Amino acid sequence: MEYIVYEQKGQVGVITISREKALNALNSQVLDELNECLDAVNLDEVRALVLTGAGQKSFVAGADIGEMSTLTKAEGEAFGKKGNDVFRKLETFPVPVIAAINGFALGGGCEISMSCDIRICSDNAVFGQPEVGLGITPGFGGTQRLARIVGVGMAKQMIYTGRNIKAADALRIGLVNEVYSAEVDAEGNVVKTAQEVLLAAAEKMAVTIAKNAPIAVRNCKKAINDGLDLDMDQAIVLEEKLFGDCFETEDQKYGMAFFLDKNKEKVKEPFKNC
Ligand code: DAK
């Protein structure tokens, strides 16, 4: 693959969109490779994913404007579908996906981060949906996901004005969960860049998720995602079903037996995913 780097670190998979010269903008090839990469993730081993961009400047600066500029209506639709299919694959991916946003997350970049379960960013991150300034609407789910994450009023303000917001504001409105800065020593020298601190934090969070019972984590993702589209009565039934599915698994039996065991010397074994 030319633009996607994938590394499996134990039970965590790290996907890096690596098209630094164009600030990791999403062209058709990036989308195809990302799709292929997701299909190849070894779900027998991987329990959480981290998605990030190469370099310290940009997570993803949007869909590729050069490629889009000459599209016909039909090609525009096909491009939109390609993006939406892979974003939806990320959103419904069986294991949680953490977006580690290291710089610009504009247009399709903001949208791909919103297809992930959790967003954390570096303090130089910039978010926005600038599409109306280009004569188009957000086309990779921005009008839908932004409103669901930050509320209708704030989403409308961001989308209608097309104005970017900085990391601190993204934190304030709930678009990201955490903001990370560079680590400096007493003399003010940078010991770790914000991007390094961010990636370490994302991987640490992924490891924490990966240590929990995998069937339960997957079912939580499904319950939250699918439940949001239902009314409360139906959503509770869905939760009951996914809760019930955890019983009789080895992980449920082991997790509860471990708690009930009064031998405090005993060390908890890793969950087995069965
Ligand atoms: N596409 C293509 N190339 C891009 C790019 C992008 N989105 N963003 C940056 N680049 C390229 C620049 O052209 C430049 O290339 P060279 O000139 O070096 O060859 C290189 O990356 C470095 O960028 P700059 O020189 O501009 O760097 P600066 O630091 O000066 O500025 C910036 C950084 C992020 C503020 C600026 O590059 C910028 O404003 N970029 C565009 C951001 C943007 O508007 N993003 C939203 C794109 S629209 C749809 C499906 C999806 C979408 C719409 C419809 N359908 C349903 C069909 C999605 C739309 C979008 O995402």
User: Are residues 240 and 138 part of one domain?
Assistant: no
pLDDT bracket for residue 180 (50, 70, 90): very high
User: Are residues 13 and 114 part of one domain?
Assistant: yes
How crowded is residue 71: how many other Cβ atoms within 10 Å of its Cβ? 13
User: Are residues 175 and 93 part of one domain?
Assistant: yes
CB within 6 Å of ligand 1 — which residues? 22-23, 25, 61-66, 76, 79-80, 83, 104, 106-108, 130-131, 134, 136, 139-140
Q: Whose CA is nearest to atom 1 of ligand 1?
A: 64
User: Are residues 108 and 12 part of one domain?
Assistant: yes
Tell me, yes or no, whether 265 lies in a domain.
no
Cα distance between residue 254 and residue 90, in whole Å: 30
pLDDT tens, position by position, 210-252? 999 999 999 999 999 999 999 999 999 999 999 999 998 999 9
Tokens standing for residue 135: 């004569």
User: Are residues 118 and 12 part of one domain?
Assistant: yes
131-143: average pLDDT: 94
> Is the model's pLDDT at 263 over the cut of 90?
no
Tell me, yes or no, whether 253 lies in a domain.
yes
> Which member of 33, 131, 203, 239 is catalytic?
131
Helix (H) or strand (E) holding 135: none
User: Are residues 245 and 189 part of one domain?
Assistant: no
Coil vs helix vs strand at 6 = strand
Domain that holds residue 250: 214-260
User: Are residues 253 and 127 part of one domain?
Assistant: no
pLDDT tens, position by position, 183-205? 999 999 999 999 999 999 999 99
Instruction: Give the global pTM.
Output: 0.96
CB 63 within 8 A of CB 109: no
Question: Ligand 1 centre and the CA of 65: distance in Å?
Answer: 6
Coil vs helix vs strand at 216 = helix
Tell me, yes or no, whether 268 lies in a domain.
no
Number of domains, the chain? 2
Question: Ligand 1 centre and the CA of 48: distance in Å?
Answer: 29
Let me know how long the chain is. Answer: 274
Helix (H) or strand (E) holding 131: none
Tell me, yes or no, whether 47 lies in a domain.
yes
User: Are residues 194 and 84 part of one domain?
Assistant: yes
Tell me, yes or no, whether 113 lies in a domain.
yes
Tell me, yes or no, whether 235 lies in a domain.
yes
pLDDT tens, position by position, 9-33? 999 999 999 999 999 999 999 999 9
User: Are residues 235 and 200 part of one domain?
Assistant: no
φ and ψ of 86, to 5 deg: -75, -35
165-175: average pLDDT: 98
pLDDT value at position 274?
58
Tokens standing for residue 202: 């994302």
Rounded to the nearest integer, the mean pLDDT of the chain is 96
Question: Ligand 1 centre and the CA of 262: distance in Å?
Answer: 59
User: Are residues 128 and 256 part of one domain?
Assistant: no
Cα distance between residue 135 and residue 100, in whole Å: 29
User: What percentage of the chain carries pLDDT values higher than 90?
Assistant: 94
> Is the model's pLDDT at 273 over the cut of 80?
no
User: Are residues 197 and 95 part of one domain?
Assistant: yes
Q: Is 187 a catalytic residue?
A: no
User: Are residues 174 and 233 part of one domain?
Assistant: no
